[in-house]
Structure 1
């Protein structure tokens, strides 16, 4: 079996309207993939920078995957939340990015977005908070009906990933 080992970190986030952010993350793969070691999902801590626009998380990622085929290449998906002074959590954005297909070290910026909803929901979000959320978060990394959503761009999640590929040459894949 061909193997992919991803080692790195979710460095942090930038470009969001407010600080005091945390992130829920996961990795999604196709049916031919299996996890040999490591966590498939997790959550960062809340960072509350005082005078900076960058929230630093430094959350480690170490996952070892094996596959029988290239279909369903691994991708990270993110949900970024803002935590207010009363410890209420509000969704600030969804995003996803593919694990790089080339071995080596990679700096990745994953752009995020959030659903806007109808006009009434937008007005409510501006005054009360707690905007619309997806009923099915799998929609973030699947192309089914995603083009029907009305969204607005949010900030970026920054990653530093090291990718190690093993035995791909035995399956006729050159890197």
Structure 2
């Protein structure tokens, strides 16, 4: 089987109006993909930027997949959260990006968004915190129901990904 090795890090996030950010991440693949080593999801630590608006996480990603086909190429999905001084967490944004399909090192910038909700929910979010969240996490990376949502732009998640491909030529895939 052909193999894909994804090595890199979630560098951090910028452009969010909130501070004290952390990120929950995961990877989604099709049925023909098998995870040989690594973990499919994780969470970074909380970072409160002292200078500027960039929150640095430097969270490692190390995944090794075997695949029988190209359908369902891996997609990274993110949930960025902010934490207040009382330890309450509030959604800052959802985002996803496709893992590059060419070998080498790649710098990725993943834009994020969050659901707006009604004017009451927006007012409550401003004063009390919280706000609307997605019921199903797969809505982040599947466009089927996402077009119906009213959203607001969030910040950007920055990644550095190195990609190694192995045995693709044996299965008729030219890289």
Partner of 1:76: 76
Output aligned runs, 1:1-175, within 5 Å: 1-175=1-175
Structure-1 separation of matches of 2:22 and 2:169: 39
Q: Secondary structure at the match of 1:18?
A: coil
CA drift at 1:18: 2.0
Count of residues paired in the alignment: 175
Q: Structure 2 length normalisation: TM-score?
A: 0.98
- CA displacement 1:117-161 (0-9 Å, x = unmatched): 112211211222211000111100112211001101100000000
Q: Secondary structure at the match of 1:138?
A: helix
Structure 1, unmatched stretches of 5+, are none
Per-residue deviation, 1:111: 0.4
Which ranges of 4 or more aligned residues in structure 1 deviate by more than 3 Å? none
- 8 A Cα contact 2:38 2:64, kept in partner: yes
Structure 2 unaligned blocks of 5 or more? none
